[in-house]
Amino acid sequence: SVFIQETFKVATIDDRIMMMSKARAAQTHLRKLVALFGHTDANGDGFVDQDEFNEVLEDQEMRLWLAAMELDVRDARILFRMLDRDSDGKLSLKELVEGMSKLRGTAKNFEMVGLQHATDELKDLVNQVLTQVSVQPASQSPKLC
């Protein structure tokens, strides 16, 4: 009984340490992204445009730094469009931080299943529309994906 209590106590302490470590890592990541934004916003207008973004990502050292933060920056133009949530041609600090945080690391199984589910729903909707306009359903025509 004492052994089990001590084991649970140690496990609880380990969980607290793990949560504190995760919180510190998130804060460190945020600070790094804020620094990236400040470095990238060359004209100081509070936004990062495509040219500023491209210029920073042309630097091999910056690409390595981002890779070390688990951020894949293979194509600067595509990455910029993914981050530019409101499609206004410029990134706010919020867009950069939230977008880069979501893109960090590898895709999770949960995200992949969600994406597959959304794709299946879209395919069903396309088939419904095609059926309503008397066109051959997508399952019988060339694959969309």
Write out the DSSP string of 81-108.
HHH-TT-SSEE-HHHHHHHHHHHSSSPP
pLDDT computed for residue 37 by the predictor: 92
pLDDT computed for residue 142 by the predictor: 55
Tell me if the pTM is above 0.85. no
Return the DSSP state at 107.
Answer: P
Contacts 24+ apart (CB under 8 A), 122-130: none
pLDDT computed for residue 42 by the predictor: 92
pLDDT computed for residue 46 by the predictor: 95
User: Which of 60, 37, 61, 58 lies closest to 49, judged by CA?
Assistant: 37
User: Which residue ranges of the chain lie beneath pLDDT 70?
Assistant: 1, 105-110, 135-145
pLDDT computed for residue 144 by the predictor: 53
CB atoms within 10 A of CB 130: 16
- Cα–Cα distance for residue pair 139/124, rounded to 1 Å: 10
DSSP E strands in the chain: the ranges are 48-49, 90-91
User: Which of 122, 43, 131, 137 lies closest to 90, judged by CA?
Assistant: 43
